[in-house]
């Protein structure tokens, strides 16, 4: 099988997996990084969202070969040791999670959005977020994104 090299949360990794295997499963099954979740496998629910070279991606739609040479950030790599990222802190302050399963993806999406918009983020921008939360935590996600925008 082909080998691919990339970084995950700042660490160099080398994997030996089929070229077509989605990055989500490379992370979960091979690298044992389980923050990114499977919810649909077709890029719709976005529970697997991570950053690739600082851009938001749905890792279930990224092939292993397309991860080669890139930098991947998962929820596990967002905090600076014990110091949480402002989005993570806002998620706690606003008591956003319920079951918590989609929240790694929600947080990574919010990080990407705020990296782009900063404190200019509007309700209309937040409305465009497509991540599914089956527990329905959307109201608090909206509040948390606004809070994080002020603290980033």
Partner 1 sequence: MVHPATDHEDAAPASGTRRRRFLTYVAAAPMLTIAGKFVLEGEAAAAAGPVAGQLPLPPVSGLVDFGDIMEIATAPTMELMKLEFTTDNKVRFELPRLEVGQGLNTAVVMMLAEELGARTSDVVVELSDARPELLFNQFTAASSSVRTFWKPLRQMAATARARLITAAAKKWSVSANSLTAQGSGIVGPGGRKATFAELAKDAAKVVIPSVPATPKKASEFKVLGKGMTRSDARAIVTGKAHYVSDLKIPNSVVAVVVRPPTLGGELVSYDDSAIRNVAGFKGTAEISSGVAVCAEYTWQAMELAKKLQVTWKSGPITDMSSADIQAKLADMAGSLDDSVNDDDGDEIDEGFDFAFVSHAPMEVNYAVADVKDGRAEVWVPAQSPQDAQKDIAAKIGVLDVKVHVTRAGGSFGRHLFHDAAIEAAEVSKAIGKPVKLMWTRNDDTRHGRMRPASHHRVKASYRAGKVRSWTHKMASVATDFTHGLGDLITSTAVESGIGKLPAAQLYFNLTQSVPYEFGTTTISLHDLDLDGVNTGSWRSVHSGTFRVAEDLVVDEIAAKAGSDPANFRLENAKSDRAKAVLQKAMKGGNWGRQMPKGHAQGISLHEEFKSIAACLVEINASDPKKPRVTKAYIVVDAGQPLNPKGIEAQMMGGLTDAISTILQAGIHIDNGAVREGSYGDFYWARQGNTPPELQIDVMPATTDEPGGVGELGVPVCGGAIACAYARATGTKPRSFPINF
Q: Which residues bind partner 1 (CB under 8 A)?
A: 1, 17-18, 21-22, 25, 28-30, 32, 34-35, 37-42, 44-45, 47, 74-76, 78-79, 84, 88, 91-93, 95-104, 107, 123, 126-142
Tokens of 32: 């044992």
Nearer to partner 1, 19 or 150 (CB): 19
Give the nearest distance from C-beta 52 to partner 1 in angstroms: 17
Nearer to partner 1, 44 or 152 (CB): 44
Residue 5: strand pairing partners? 14
Give the nearest distance from C-beta 83 to partner 1 in angstroms: 11
DSSP string, 19-81: TTSBHHHIIIIIS---SS--S-SSSSS-TTEEEETTEEEEGGGSBHHHHTT-EEE-GGGTSBT
Sign of the alpha-carbon torsion through 79, 29, 97, 55: positive
Residue owning tokens 């302050």: 93
Give the nearest distance from C-beta 115 to partner 1 in angstroms: 17
Nearer to partner 1, 70 or 74 (CB): 74
Nearer to partner 1, 28 or 56 (CB): 28
Give the nearest distance from C-beta 70 to partner 1 in angstroms: 19
Q: How far apart (Å, rounded) are the C-alpha atoms in residues 51 and 9?
A: 10
């Amino acid at each position: 099988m082909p080998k691919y090299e990339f970084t995950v949360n700042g660490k160099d990794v080398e994997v030996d997996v089929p070229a077509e295997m989605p990055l989500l499963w490379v992370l979960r099954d091979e690298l044992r990084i389980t923050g990114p979740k499977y919810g649909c496998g077709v890029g719709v629910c976005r529970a697997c969202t991570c950053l690739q070279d600082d851009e938001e991606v749905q890792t279930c739609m990224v092939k292993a070969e397309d991860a080669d040479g890139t930098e991947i950030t998962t929820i596990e790599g967002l905090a600076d040791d014990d110091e949480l990222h402002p989005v993570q802190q806002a998620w706690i302050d606003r008591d956003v999670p319920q079951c918590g399963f989609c929240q790694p993806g929600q947080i990574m999406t919010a990080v990407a959005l705020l990296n782009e918009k900063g404190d200019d983020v509007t309700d209309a921008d937040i409305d465009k977020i497509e991540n599914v939360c089956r527990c329905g935590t959307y109201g608090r996600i909206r509040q948390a994104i606004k809070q994080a925008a002020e603290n980033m």
